[in-house]
Amino acid sequence: METGSSFASCTPSPRKEEQALMSDMIIRKEGRAGRITFDRPQALNALSHAMALEIHAALGGWRDDPAVSLVIIDAAGDRAFCAGGDIAAVYRAGLDGDHQVGRDFFRDEYRMNARIADYPKPVVALMQGFVMGGGVGVGGHASHRIVGDSTQVAMPEAGIGLIPDVGGSWLLGHAPGRVGEYLGLTSARMGPGDAIFAGFADTYLPEAEWPALIKELTRTGDTAAIKGKPRPTATLEGADLSSFGGRTVDEIIASLKAAGDDAALKPLLRNSPLSMAATLALVRAARADLGVRDSLAREYRFTYRATAAGDFLEGVRAQLIDKDRNPQWAADSSDTHVRAMLAPLGDDDLKWEESQ
């Protein structure tokens, strides 16, 4: 069980004149399928605000299109399906005191995540390489989630002062046993076997067989073409994660110290205390949610406030800007502040479109 840091991108945004000439998504209809392909391999297919809007719009356009029987989401390159959100603009605006840029990005991203989760037609996601943060928000909510030998899935947000969002708390909350708490607090990466065991994927298929599968799906529009191979070994299955049943992060840390579990302890001593406390609350609250939208709405309350009242800007600075890997966490991680970060936003709470 390997722990991982965030691969969310801070790649500089293109100049306005370049934006009209380029796209980071390839969206088209092919045979019986609507096809969405991440096409930003040089940035590990990091998800920008514009890309989230493109995915959302494409799904909306195909919802009632009789020519589209299913949707296929894949990615260019072999290193990543999508390694996280492109948070460069959110970071820069937050430093300048403009918190609306982040709020708009997260709002539109979460609406897109919900549209995938509730889509009335099959959505097939083929997820190679890094699938982290925003990538989980796209692939992790598809109806048919395929992983291969290179797949590495993680929700590493606590390492940059955020929380497992994009519906990540829903997925973590419904993982078996204490797997959700473990993954959310440690940022551990999952290979294909663990991803299926934890409920982040459904089917293992060697990546060499993906082109033939895509060809058959586009020809027939029938998910019966998906025939996986036996699930690889899941290291999480049977692992003793009882320490993660502690009531608080401090109790979990104390239990890990007593058990001598240095591998699990190390990331908890490194990640944002506020983020971990909020993650614990979010994962456990998600277990009572009726659907992913409930979890997304709760996550939005934290991310809405993250640039103004959390560790997010410092986490991004340390991990992605200066890359000194030495964040100076300063946000209040008390129960009172966690409740404040997750409190309703009133008129600013996440709202769903009527056509969602």
Is 42 or 16 the better-scoring residue by pLDDT?
42
57, part of any domain: yes
* Residue 67 lies inside a defined structural domain of this protein: yes
CATH number at residue 196: 3.90.226.10
Per-residue confidence (pLDDT) for residue 354, from 0 to 100: 58
Query: Which residues lie across from 189 on neighbouring strands?
Result: 2
In a domain, 210, yes or no: yes
* 110-146 residue pLDDT tens: 999 999 999 999 999 999 999 999 999 999 999 999 9
Asked if the structure places residue 349 within a domain, the reply is no
Percentage with pLDDT > 90 across the chain? 91
Residue 353 domain-assigned?
A: no
**Structural domain boundaries enclosing 325:** 2-223+241-343
Question: For the residues 333-354, what does the mean pLDDT come to?
Answer: 94
Q: What pLDDT score does 5 carry? A: 42
| pLDDT over 50 at 207, yes or no | yes
Of the candidates 5, 7, 23, 11, the residue with the CA atom closest to the CA atom of residue 90: 11
Assign 353 a pLDDT band (cuts: 50, 70, 90).
confident
**Residue 228 falls within a domain, yes or no?**
no
* Position 12 pLDDT exceeds 70: no
Instruction: Name the pTM for this structure.
Output: 0.93
Instruction: Give the residue among 163, 164, 122, 121 at the shortest CA–CA distance from 145.
Output: 122
- The pLDDT tens digits of the residues spanning 59-103 come to 999 999 999 999 999 999 999 999 999 988 899 999 999 999 999
How would residue 23 be classed by pLDDT, with cut points 50, 70 and 90?
confident
356 assigned to some structural domain: no
Distances (CA, A) of 81 to 97, 234, 260, 339: 32, 21, 35, 34
Q: Look at residue 114 and tell me if it is in a domain.
A: yes
C-alpha dihedral sign at 61, 58, 210, 23: positive
| End-to-end Cα separation, the chain, in angstroms | 37
Number of folded domains that form the chain: 1
Q: Please state, in angstroms and rounded to a whole number, the distance separating the CA atoms of residues 155 and 172.
A: 9
Q: Please name the residues in contact with 293: beta carbons below 8 A apart, sequence gap of 6 or more.
A: 114, 117, 118, 352
